[in-house]
Structure formats: C-alpha cells, structure tokens
C-alpha cells in the first residue's frame, strides 16, 4: 500500500464510498482541465492535428476519466457519413507515440450536439488513459465523408491521481 493508498483508505472511513450524491475520494481530489477550441473549423473537411491541451506538472501520474463538451458557437447535426471524430490522446512526454484515451464521433450513434448544452464524452480507452509525469494530453479532429464544421467549443476533461 502506498502513502496515497493509505490516505484514501483512511479518508474512506469518513465518507469515501459513493452514496447517492456523496462524491468518492477520487472525485474530491480530481483535476479538471479546461480546453477552449477558439474558432470554428475553416471548412467541413478541415481536420485538426494533435494540439497540446495540457502537460502533467505533478510528481505523479494521472488518469483520464471522462470529459464533457459544450458547442458554444453552434450545434452539430449528427450524420452517419459526414461527421467529425474528436479525440483526446495521451503522450508520454519523451517522444513516444500518442494513444487515444477519449473519443466522440458526431455520427448517428454519437448524436447531435445542441448549442450551449453539455455533451458527455464517454468512449474511454482505459489502456490509454495514463498521463505519466511530464506527459501530455492532446486534442485532434478527423473528418469522415465530407466532414462537418466543429464550432467554437469548450471541453472539460476530468483526471484522477494515480497511485504511485
């Protein structure tokens, strides 16, 4: 058991178990990263390559847990063919390849985005969720078919501290 694990266990006796609206210890100590996409895509087919969102400044790794998006500039219609795949990737910070941690597609399964309404990004790849010390979180957009314009948007990514 680590010091962090001991601390969580000790605090667990107080109110760590999730009961109704009571948050878990991990949720109480979560890190939230806010990323603003400042402009709409130039055209429906315009993709966005990996763009740095956040670097892990802590002396411990963190894990991507979930994210939410809010399209503030306009909505996005769901389309089976012409859509966008928005992906948050983790990087090790020492030149290794990126790994997809969270993904949402604006297809029929992913659903439409309504302007100024929260949209959960829940397609999480657990194996790729770790951001090591000095690692990074990046953002990219790929387009399917003729694409769709992703408007000005705000993303909130929730991270939990990993046990070391």
Task: Give whichever of 13-17, 80-84, 122-126 has the largest mean pLDDT.
Answer: 80-84
Backbone phi, psi, residue 127, to 5°: -60, -20
Say whether pTM exceeds 0.85.
no
Over the chain, what is the mean pLDDT?
A: 86
pLDDT value at 20 more than 60: no
Domains (range + CATH), the chain: 31-161 (2.60.120)
18-32, 35-49, 62-76, 127-141: which range is least confident on average? 18-32
Instruction: State the pLDDT at residue 49.
Output: 94
pLDDT per residue as tens digits for the range 89-128: 999 988 888 999 999 999 999 999 999 999 999 888 888 9
> What tokens does 132 get?
């090591």
Long-range contacts of 109-116 (CB under 8 A, 24+ apart): 110/78, 110/83, 111/78, 112/75, 112/76, 112/77, 112/78, 113/69, 113/71, 113/75, 113/76, 114/71, 114/75, 115/71, 115/72, 115/73, 115/74, 115/75, 115/151, 116/70, 116/71, 116/72
Residue scoring higher pLDDT (97 or 153)? 153
pLDDT value at 62 more than 80: yes
């Amino acid at each position: 058991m680590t010091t962090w694990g001991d601390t969580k266990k000790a605090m667990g006796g107080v109110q760590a178990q999730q009961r109704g609206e009571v948050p878990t210890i991990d949720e109480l100590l979560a890190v939230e990263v806010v990323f603003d996409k400042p402009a709409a895509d130039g055209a429906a087919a315009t993709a966005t390559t990996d763009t740095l969102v956040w670097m892990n400044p802590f002396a411990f790794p963190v894990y991507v847990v979930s994210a939410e998006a809010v399209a503030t500039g306009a909505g996005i219609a769901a389309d089976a063919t012409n859509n966008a795949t928005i992906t948050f990737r983790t990087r090790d910070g020492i030149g290794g390849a990126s790994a997809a941690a969270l993904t949402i597609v604006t297809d029929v399964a992913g659903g439409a985005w309504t302007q100024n309404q929260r949209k959960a990004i829940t397609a999480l790849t657990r194996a790729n969720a770790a951001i090591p010390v000095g690692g990074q979180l990046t953002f990219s957009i790929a387009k399917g078919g003729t694409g769709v314009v992703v408007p000005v948007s705000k993303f909130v990514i929730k991270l939990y501290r990993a046990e070391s």
